[in-house]
Amino acid sequence: MTSFAPGRVLGIDPGLNITGYGVIERIGGKLQIVEAGVIRGGDRTSLTKRLAGIYHGICEVLTQFQPQTVALEELYSHYERPRTSILMGHARGVICLAAEQAGVTVTAYAATKVKKLLTGNGRAPKMQMQQAICREFGLVTPPEPPDVADALAIALSHHFSQQLPTLRELTQSDRANHRLRS
Amino acid sequence: MTSFAPGRVLGIDPGLNITGYGVIERIGGKLQIVEAGVIRGGDRTSLTKRLAGIYHGICEVLTQFQPQTVALEELYSHYERPRTSILMGHARGVICLAAEQAGVTVTAYAATKVKKLLTGNGRAPKMQMQQAICREFGLVTPPEPPDVADALAIALSHHFSQQLPTLRELTQSDRANHRLRS
């Protein structure tokens, strides 16, 4: 892959059974869902076959939609559920590989940061997150299955975090304002 | 890959910084190391680049040595160290993918089973394990770095477990003996 759609973000919610994905982009001043869906690993097949399924699915999405960035949930979000974390690690591994092979940057967002960026509350419940997704994309009902909404939330987090001035810029700007006022 | 070397086992000790591997086979009635070494992910580079390095390294070993089986450490061996487990999960994910793409079966062995098979003690210390590796392969000193010895231990476990009659066969045989005696 040599060219990317600038500003197009692929959010991924990795899972061995269902991996949600959502491609978003600002088109004509409006944030839009370019494509969203799930890749099913197949819960009755072997671990290696499921991983191959996820890898090929993500490769296809990367080739077809050419995002500039892949946004993934942070590595250590599920410390309290080691089994889930380790399995998610396997899925996340093949997703990172697909992105690296396509030359696409991977950025990670902690679950609390995703919630904070979308609702202002790092501990927002699922319903509040779904409402935020509906509001941002002008949807009447939240996307189904929930893995799609989760992937869109991660993509949105990346989009928002790119719009925000950095803390350093803010600090410098505040200092400049302070100098102007004093 | 369409043909395998029958009985040839590739043992892998997955890690993001160093992945140890060891290819073993019984040749002329003697168990031998065909090839062993490490794939270095590069600890100063990004997670995605390290995963790509591991994946390509394992693909090369699979293509060159055409093992019949890949033996890996069990998924949940490091519950008590969640960070290590999750990172190992990433490395393990791309290794499983490489094996699946090459059409090679992956078999997992718990760390305690590896120790038990090699020394008779599921809690054997590192030195006892290294001595077992030296004894099996007629080595004067243990292979270095330790990741190579660990990979060889996992390969050996698979080899031994293939030699052993299964528990079910043992039970049936015991029953038959019991009938003969009674």
From residue A16, alpha-carbon distances to A68, A75, A89, A157 in Å are 24, 15, 9, 23
Residues of chain B in contact with residue A97, where contact means CB-CB under 8 angstroms, are: 48, 51-52, 55, 93-94, 97
**pLDDT, position B76:** 67
Mean pLDDT, all residues of chain A: 86
Percent of chain A at pLDDT exceeding 70? 84
**pLDDT, position A95:** 98
The CATH code of the domain that includes A169 is 3.30.420.10
Per-residue pLDDT tens over the stretch A94-130: 999 999 999 999 999 998 999 999 999 999 998 999 9
Per-residue pLDDT tens over the stretch A25-64: 998 888 999 999 999 987 778 999 999 999 999 999 999 9
CA distance B161 to chain A (A): 21
**Cα B22 from Cα A131, distance rounded (Å):** 52
CA distance A105 to chain B (A): 9
**Cα A97 from Cα A109, distance rounded (Å):** 18
Our count of domains for chain B comes to 1
Residues 6+ apart with CB under 8 A from B64: B35
Identify from A39, A58, A86 which residue to disrupt to test chain B contact, counting B C-beta atoms within 10 A and taking the largest count. A86
| Minimum CA–CA partner of B93 in chain A | A90
Contact A93, A75 (CB under 8 A): no
Query: Which has the closest alpha carbon to A59: A12, A7, A95, A29?
Result: A95
Asked if the interface predicted TM-score (ipTM) of this complex is over 0.90, the answer is no
Q: Which amino acid is at B32?
A: Q
Distance of CA A139 to the CA centre of its chain: 18
Per-residue pLDDT tens over the stretch B82-137: 777 888 899 999 999 999 999 999 999 998 999 999 999 999 998 999 999 999 99
- Domain of B88 in residue numbering reads as 5-181
- Is pTM beyond 0.90? Reply is no
Query: Which has the closest alpha carbon to A129: A109, A156, A107?
Result: A156
